[in-house]
Chain A
Amino acid sequence: AQSVTQPDIHITVSEGASLELRCNYSYGATPYLFWYVQSPGQGLQLLLKYFSGDTLVQGIKGFEAEFKRSQSSFNLRKPSVHWSDAAEYFCAVARGYQKVTFGTGTKLQVIP
């Protein structure tokens, strides 16, 4: 069965600093990979996705993620964090029409 691990439950960064959120997956083949962001009391917004091709994908709000097959990782990055980026971030994997599996989430706190 596929699984997703987000090893960092909570991360605190200073505004303007760079950010990397980790995501590792377990799956027999290359899955479809997603990063979502959730603000308190809200649904999920898709930041970016990877299906195939270029392993560095650009998303909304200045985020990017890199798929590394050898490490089974899909880490999310942002060069300079803004206070409005404070939220919870979920990595997710899917393959075909199998159900999407979400990681446990990483809560990002941004210090002014």
Chain B
Amino acid sequence: GAVVSQHPSRVICKSGTSVKIECRSLDFQATTMFWYRQFPKQSLMLMATSNEGSKATYEQGVEKDKFLINHASLTLSTLTVTSAHPEDSSFYICSARLAGDSYNEQFFGPGTRLTVL
């Protein structure tokens, strides 16, 4: 149980284009999902917290107009990287928290490798 999927697993795009990454909780409802970014050989950096049916909360320094997050249902959150540039190339990981969870336990997706040319 508690499986989270991400799609796509890898994406290569040209500079200036937009890329959408999907995060789905497959067998549970997630009122809250999280988006992280991980640079090579570094830890996870929280980008934003996404709550179903409301606007995402972005961490300091994360451009909300560049990283658009939508959490339209209890099982799906999307991250859209708008006007992507090479510096946006990274590994993006989402996680989901079970509805009603009291301990902030998160279940992680397999990640999406974004390469911007």
Contacts and interface: CB of A to CB of B under 8 A. Distances in A.
A90 B43 contact: yes
B111 A43 contact: yes
Contacts, number: 51
A94 interface: yes
Interface in B50-102: 59, 91, 93, 95
A45 B44 contact: no
B105 A99 contact: no
Interface size class on chain A is 20 to 34
Interface residues of B, number: 22
Contacts of B107: 46
B43 A94 contact: no
B113 A41 contact: yes
A37 to B, nearest CB: 11
Contact of B109 (A34, A43, A105): A43
Interface string A14-46: 000000000000000000101010000111111
A90 B44 contact: yes
Contacts of A104: 42-43
B43 A102 contact: yes
